[in-house]
């Protein structure tokens, strides 16, 4: 960690880094925690990212997107260092993911869903269910979902951060969201929020 | 009255809207005109409206779960100090 600066930053650069980059630590940490899936590695990753960014801050072009620049550094650091230590979640069969349709499942199991814009199933899930579902995604899908839905980056920014074409960003995000929905549905079933099979025959209203 | 459209054979407008679902929800490159057409379709077609709503809901759940994560103060202080040392 204690690598030396190859070149001195100007006083102005240092002030700018403190003013503009340090407030982005919460965003970086949220992303890092979902990438690494554990707090000690997330802390290491954020620290490593901030030091790398500080050392090369003279190469950041003022006026461009600092948050995207930091996430590019962090994503590279994660891919090169941290993921090697970690066990990846089991890969999902793409058929299983592609055929899954959360909307149809909710329509069949969630009586409230078609009547009001509410879902008792989705409402019953808590934040830790959501983060568990993200954590269960294979890496490339997980990165796309984190960058888009946790961090709010545009497709163009994500393409820059992940160093892939926009078409690849879109397909990873699409499949990532599908896989996430499947995982949420599986969690809802495991937790008994929905029963195994939809009620057949006449509609039973809960009394 | 014409035959009802069966769920297994969605109308062309539904298909076109669904193909652009994420572009629409993510605020990505769609013309104003196209955005308006999709919005009108969602108002006219409850199944598409519900489907878009559900997708938006899941994205919001993910965003919310992320927002609740705060960096520990100890790490912020550590990074601030490391940077000042340089």
CB within 8 Å: B71 and A28: yes
Q: Find out whether A114 and B50 touch, Cβ atoms under 8 Å.
A: yes
Instruction: Give me the helices (H) in chain A, please.
Output: 11-16, 25-36, 39-55, 66-77, 94-99, 102-109, 120-124, 127-135, 139-145, 155-162, 166-190
Structure confidence at residue A203 as a pLDDT band (50, 70, 90): very low
Residue B1 has pLDDT above 50, yes or no: no
Tell me the residues of chain B between 34 and 63 that have a Cβ less than 8 Å away from chain A. 50-51, 53-55, 57-59, 61-63
pLDDT recorded at residue A87: 67
ipTM of the complex: 0.84
List CB contacts (< 8 A) between B62 and chain A.
Answer: 130, 134, 145, 149-150, 180
User: Of A171 and A198, which is predicted with more confidence?
Assistant: A171
Q: In sequence order, what are the residues at sequence separation of 6 or more whose Cβ sits closer than 8 angstroms to the Cβ of residue A22?
A: A50, B76, B79, B80, B83
B73 touches chain A (CB under 8 A): no
pLDDT recorded at residue A88: 65
A170 touches chain B (CB under 8 A): yes
Residue A30 has pLDDT above 90, yes or no: yes
Tell me the residues of chain A between 107 and 136 that have a Cβ less than 8 Å away from chain B. 107, 113-114, 117, 119, 122, 125, 127, 130-131, 134
List CB contacts (< 8 A) between A22 and chain B.
Answer: 76, 79-80, 83
Work out the mean pLDDT of chain B and round it to a whole number. 86
Instruction: Return the DSSP state at A7.
Output: S
CB within 8 Å: B51 and A103: yes
Q: In sequence order, what are the residues at sequence separation of 6 or more whose Cβ sits closer than 8 angstroms to the Cβ of residue A159?
A: A165, A166, A168, A169
Rounded to two decimals, the pTM is 0.85
CB within 8 Å: A5 and B53: no
- d(CA A107, CA A130) in angstroms, rounded, equals 20
When scoring B20, B60, B75, B78 by the number of chain A Cβ atoms within 10 A, the one with the most, hence best to mutate, is: B75
DSSP track, B23-65: HHHTT-S--HHHHHHHHHHHHH-HHHHHHHHHHHHHHHHHHHH
CB within 8 Å: B65 and A150: yes
- Name the residue among B57, B78, B86 with its Cβ closest to that of A122: B57
Condensed to tens digits (0 to 9), the pLDDT of residues A83-110 reads 776 666 666 677 778 788 998 888 888 7
């Amino acid at each position: 960690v204690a690598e030396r600066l190859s070149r001195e930053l100007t006083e102005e650069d240092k002030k700018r880094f403190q003013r503009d980059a340090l407030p982005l630590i919460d965003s970086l940490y949220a992303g890092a925690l979902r990438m690494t899936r554990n707090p000690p590695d997330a802390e290491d990753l954020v620290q490593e990212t901030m030091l790398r960014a500080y050392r090369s801050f003279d190469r950041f072009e003022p006026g461009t997107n600092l948050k995207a620049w930091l996430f590019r550094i962090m994503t590279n650091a994660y891919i090169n260092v941290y993921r090697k230590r970690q066990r990846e979640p089991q890969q999902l069969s793409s058929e299983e993911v592609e055929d899954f349709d959360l909307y149809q499942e909710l329509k069949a199991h969630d009586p409230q869903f078609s009547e009001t814009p509410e879902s008792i199933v989705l409402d019953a899930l808590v934040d830790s269910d959501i983060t568990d579902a993200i954590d269960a995604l294979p890496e490339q899908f997980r990165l796309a979902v984190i960058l888009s839905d946790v961090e709010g980056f545009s497709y163009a920014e994500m393409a820059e951060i992940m160093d892939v074409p926009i078409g690849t960003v879109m397909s990873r995000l699409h499949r990532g969201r599908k896989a996430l929905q499947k995982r949420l549905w599986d969690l809802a079933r495991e937790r008994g929020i929905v029963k195994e099979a939809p009620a057949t025959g006449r509609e039973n209203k809960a009394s | 009255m014409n035959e009802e459209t069966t769920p297994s054979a969605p109308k062309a407008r539904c298909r076109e809207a669904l193909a652009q679902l994420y572009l629409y929800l993510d605020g990505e490159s769609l013309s104003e005109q196209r955005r308006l057409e999709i919005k009108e379709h969602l108002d006219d077609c409850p199944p598409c409206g519900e489907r878009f709503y559900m997708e938006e809901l899941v994205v919001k759940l993910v965003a919310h779960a992320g927002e609740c994560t705060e960096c520990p103060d100890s790490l912020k202080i550590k990074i601030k100090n490391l940077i000042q040392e340089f």
